[in-house]
Amino acid sequence: CSRSWVLRAFYHVGGGIEAHKSRLRFSMDSNVVSIQVDDPHCLIRVSLPRELTDTSIINVFALLRAMLEFANAYSLLFDGTDVQHTKLTGDGIFNLARSTADDLNRVAMVVSTPVAFGMARMYEICSNWKEERVSVFSDKESALAWLRAG
């Protein structure tokens, strides 16, 4: 993957945004989300906030869509191991899957709670109707291995 350093516009989502050369941190409802670009592996790493809602995950995808790397089909690694509360709904998961149906990015989600695992699996099932591009894991090593194999 090649890298061109360009000025990118990021959406303000109700909190502060701090951009660095290959890292973006923003706060959302007093939770911090971190987005890191790993160019050598064509990977975008996203650390999810402690509380996840339908709105917050849609806002994360809005930020990702503004990134050149997302448009270049970098793989996505969502780290949800810090998620303590999930206020996601079945409707929200279905709408997210529908809005990402034409994306080319492979998506690995790492979660640590049964509720987060169940919601992530719902997204995986709804998203993989065309091809297998989304998978859920309980550890980062397996998630990274799956992304590299794709």
Q: List CB contacts of 55: < 8 A, sequence separation 6 or more.
A: none
pLDDT score at 149? 93
Sign of the alpha-carbon torsion through 102, 38, 135, 17: negative
The pair of three-digit structure tokens given for residue 128, joined into one six-digit string: 């993989």
The pair of three-digit structure tokens given for residue 121, joined into one six-digit string: 């699996």
Q: Is residue 130 predicted with pLDDT exceeding 80?
A: yes
The string of DSSP codes covering 79-111 is EETT--EEE--HHHHHHHHHHTTT----EEEEE
Q: Is residue 30 predicted with pLDDT exceeding 50?
A: no
pLDDT score at 150? 84
Q: Is residue 43 predicted with pLDDT exceeding 90?
A: yes
| Pairwise CA distance, residues 23 & 114, whole Å | 29
List the one residue out of 25, 16, 31 whose CA is nearest residue 45.
25
What's 139's DSSP letter? S
In this prediction, residue 35 has a pLDDT band, given cuts at 50, 70 and 90, of: confident
